[in-house]
Structure 1
């Protein structure tokens, strides 16, 4: 078990032995190069790692290494929107058309009927641009190697979405769509008068002293110490070649899955959010108004609020947060509703599609009440 000396390991985790076995199995049985778990209670933390950060050097994974967090970005984006709502710079009842005139139109899409709230809770009915046939070919197949440095604009991504038929009438169903959060991030820029990256830095990263957290935009590398990310290019065969995809442009995941962060930073962010340090009470109530996700629509057994989800663990504890995937990595960030116990997990390989069972087992062991 790798527990870096630079990270305090003085938090008592009742299920620590089970956690260690699960982390070991992630490497030895499921073939991930490396896996990390950070558990924090606001004042103390426990960090554990198995495997390696880089298969070439054999370097150890650490709590301060940067990695791409995938859709955990959505919780950050929703927090920005709700902060702007609290400042009366926008309303959750505003329509997309009010902020982005003419952008969401065609094939059953009508931005004048879609509210910002419906973007954040995935009831807009807007087609997910990541499910477009061209996007699937470019980013979810071996052709990724030809396209991982492409830099589509947010407008490009929305145009791809509305070139497909809408999934349903706004407010009439639920459907996880990455397009929702591209639009939400674009509205943040309009309402705040700064770039999405600056809004993340000024409103969240700097106030919380998250020194390893930022929105990279079209940057293909990292600004600090980091591990490597590995992909089988969506080939399900366990013997498929593994490619180093550490260097890539996350422009195709604007506001959706682009953020870079660290285990230590993510635990601090989620604890602050859950404790009400980032949002006033009214916006917290909006964010945590949870609706059960219909079976087969996303992750069965989960509920979704505004950019945040919840799930009840086998032990009976309900946790709140978000998972995330971007090429080369999977992550999971969840905590108790009071923010007194939060965890972050990451594997630096993108197979498993997704490894939710592994993450849930680790969560359950880490959050298990002491006997």
Structure 2
């Protein structure tokens, strides 16, 4: 039996997240043909301009599902082998033995053992994820830095490995997805951004979704406030930012309506074939950037509550912004939520993030949105 869509309950839940400390957030929840869109709080703390549910937003690593889908399409066409070593395609970027043993699949599901480049690109995050020893200075230093993707990949490939190729649990790493972007470029003769746009975004009819061409978000959008675990107080606006530091791993701009449309079509087998979708839903344990072990497929991960239906989707964060999109396996119930504050948890003396009222308020919103 499907859970009803209760607008009053959803209105209350999203308002409670704002009251718990989120400057602004907005969401779309769908149940069959019924749609609820809601927003609470402000898009700009200085002017009080309100958030609205149709705003464009940086969706962070939710981008990975789009990039993974583009790779799977090339697998279907025979241009890429899912279990072919990456060294056959990109020998200069992943040389030697690792290039011979790390497969395309291992990149997509984060079991390559390749390290995250982020602490090397952002020196003040060098101790990441040992948060107490990090600082926000690099976030300002690199606001308009134009990184070359091969430069970032080299940082990740030359850093000490975080695991053996194919070993589990895998370790989540943006290095994997920058390599997939280079792979798409190699086999299609166009940039990964153009490939994803032409083969995924446009056929899906996503009119408000695209990769940024500069540091600005085009169209109506919110400012993005980064707290970096209370080290930036008050939180600073990072809505203007050169996104070359993540590229096709996490730079996409979208709306909550477009995210729901994308995942609905994906789970219906309309973006990749049903057999490719089955591959995307084959999960392995992976250590997330927050240090938790999650089940991760090929650019998708499941959310399950005891005795409840399984949802599939992806979350993501950038400096100041975040999003989470989850769709029930049958495609009928959907949730997409966008947030304009990140890393709000302060750290205790050992560097561990402390509970914050926002945590429980968000869990409640997600539960109401997914399960009614």
Q: Deviations over 1:47-80 (max 9, x none)?
A: 0111012223323322321110000011111000
Cα deviation, 1:241-262, whole Å, max 9, x if unaligned, reads 2212111001001121110111
Q: Distance in 1 between matches of 2:32 and 2:194?
A: 26
Pick from 3, 7, 13: which aligns with 1:22?
13
Q: Secondary structure at the match of 1:321?
A: strand
CA contact 1:103–1:158 (8 Å) conserved in 2: yes
1:164 matched to 2:159? The reply is yes
How far did 1:208 drift? 1.8
Identify the range of structure 1 (149-158 vs 56-65) with the bigger mean alpha-carbon deviation. 56-65
Contact 2:123 2:138 in 1 (8 A): no
Aligned: 1:368 with 2:371: yes
Alignment check: 8 A CA contact 2:185 2:191 kept: yes
1:233-244 aligned at under 5 Å gives the runs 234-236=228-230, 240-244=233-237
> Secondary structure at the residue paired with 2:167?
coil
User: Per-residue displacement from partner, 1:187-216 (whole Å, max 9, x unpaired)?
Assistant: 111112211221122112211221111112
Give the deviation of 1:303 after TM superposition. Answer: 1.4
CA distance in 1, matches of 2:7, 2:239: 30
Who is 1:129 aligned against?
117
Cα RMSD of the aligned pairs, angstroms, is 2.5
Instruction: Determine the C-alpha separation between the residues in 2 that align with 1:140 and 1:255.
Output: 25
> Which residue matches 1:287?
280
Moved more, 307-316 or 271-280: 307-316
Which secondary structure does the structure 1 equivalent of 2:263 belong to? helix
Give the number of aligned pairs: 352
Matches within 5 A, 1:1-371: 13-29=4-20, 31-41=21-31, 43-105=33-95, 110-132=98-120, 134-137=122-125, 141-173=136-168, 174-217=170-213, 219-232=214-227, 234-236=228-230, 240-293=233-286, 298-300=291-293, 302-313=294-305, 316-352=308-344, 358-368=361-371
- C-alpha distance in 1 between matches for 2:304 and 2:119: 28
Judged with a 3 Å threshold, the aligned counterparts in structure 2 of structure 1 residues 236 and 195 are, in CA distance, closer, same or farther, namely same
Contact kept? 2:147, 2:245, Cα under 8 Å: yes
Describe the shift of the 1:208–1:51 C-alpha distance in structure 2 as closer, same or farther (beyond 3 A): same
SS of match in other structure, 2:202 = helix
Q: Distance in 2 between matches of 1:192 and 1:43?
A: 37
SS in 1 for 2:249: coil
Equivalent residue number for residue 3 of structure 1:
none
TM-score normalised by L of structure 2: 0.87
Aligned equivalents of 2:182, 2:171: Cα separation in 1: 20
**Which runs of 5 or more structure 1 residues have no equivalent in the other structure?**
1-10
| Higher mean C-alpha displacement, 329-338 vs 195-204 | 195-204
Partner Cα distance (2:261, 2:313) in 1? 13
1:140 and 1:286 map into 2 onto residues whose CA distance is 39
Distance 1:185 1:48, change over 3 A: same
Query: Normalized against structure 1, the TM-score is what?
Result: 0.87
The alpha-carbon distance between structure 1 residues 142 and 189, as it changes in their structure 2 partners (threshold 3 A), is same
Superposed CA offset, 1:243-302 (max 9, x none): 1211100100112111011111111111111111101122111111122446998434x3
**Distance in 1 (alpha carbons) for counterparts of 2:32 and 2:244:** 33
Counterparts of 2:11 and 2:31 in 1: how far apart (Å)?
19
Distance 1:15 1:314 in 2: 22
